[in-house]
Chains A and B, each alone.
Chain A
Amino acid sequence: MEPSDTELIAAVRKGDVSQFEPLIARYQPRVFATARRYARREDEVQDIVQEVFIKAFQKLDSFRAEAPFEHWLMRMTVRTCYDFLRSHQRNRETTLTDLSDPEVDWLERFAASPEDTSNNSDATKALIDRVMAQLSPEARLVITLLEIEDRTVKEIAELTGWSVPLVKVRAFRARAQMKKILETLTREKYL
């Protein structure tokens, strides 16, 4: 039988550092999946995951076992992803003016017939990446958690450490920001 999280954490706290490895192995797929929502390049994703587990190890004494270890780790993951977005906000590579041909085709098909346009093509994914990359770090985090991962405002508040009213305000601003980006995107092509 595999040792539980609590047993592994207790062993690490007593000084048996090697017991942290099963914890990493257990939760790294989830941390990788979360990090891939915020970073595109695989080396950036790996840096985020590495940072999450190093922070988790360093702050393990602050884990109080009131909630599952996974929740505590996911909070750390979301905050590390937010830090990553903030530190990389000046290096946004994509712009709204250099749309690829498939993206332009998709937008044209959407303009002609919104209902019939498929939403699982590569062009759609590229467009989403482009739009998300234009959002501010706060807006991108809120949109990802609220709209894409379908989390509640309370959950987002717990994950980010922001207050519930702040999450609401940031969600409102994020939606407005996204609408503005879409306006710019379509204005350049269709007006």
Chain B
Amino acid sequence: MDLDKLQQKLMAAAKAAVPGDHVPYAFEKRIMARLTAPVKVDEWALCGRWLWRAVAPCASVMTALGVWVVVTMHNEPEPQNLEQAIENTIMSGDDVAGE
């Protein structure tokens, strides 16, 4: 099939089919009603928008805190064994009271 010819034929048909310019009854009134209608504030949408804006800063703070916790955990000296760790934990209260 001659595709160029087919394309020409379809384009010629599209040119011949001029779209109508009829307008629905009182369409301009409908637009004017939209333009002059008082603006309603949607509080829920506004609240939602602010919450979405807060997502990025909250996520970055959470990530920073997560990183900080991980880093400080690795810097603390590891207790030698469980017995030592329990003793340290129990005695730490006495150390604080003694100070």
Contact = CB atoms under 8 A, between A and B. Distances in A.
Contacts of A24: 27-28, 31-32
Interface in A137-191: 147-148, 150, 178-179, 182-183, 186, 190
Contact of A54 (B7, B12, B28, B35): B35
A28 interface: yes
A179 B7 contact: yes
Instruction: Determine chain B's interface SS by DSSP, over half rule.
Output: helix
A117 B9 contact: yes
Interface residues of A, number: 41
Contact of B13 (A17, A30, A125): A125
Contacts of A131: 10
Given A32-B21, A32-B22, A49-B27, A178 B14 contact: no
B55 interface: no
A118 B49 CA distance: 56
B89 to A, nearest CB: 60
B23 A28 contact: yes
Interface of B: 1-3, 5-7, 9-24, 27-32, 34-36
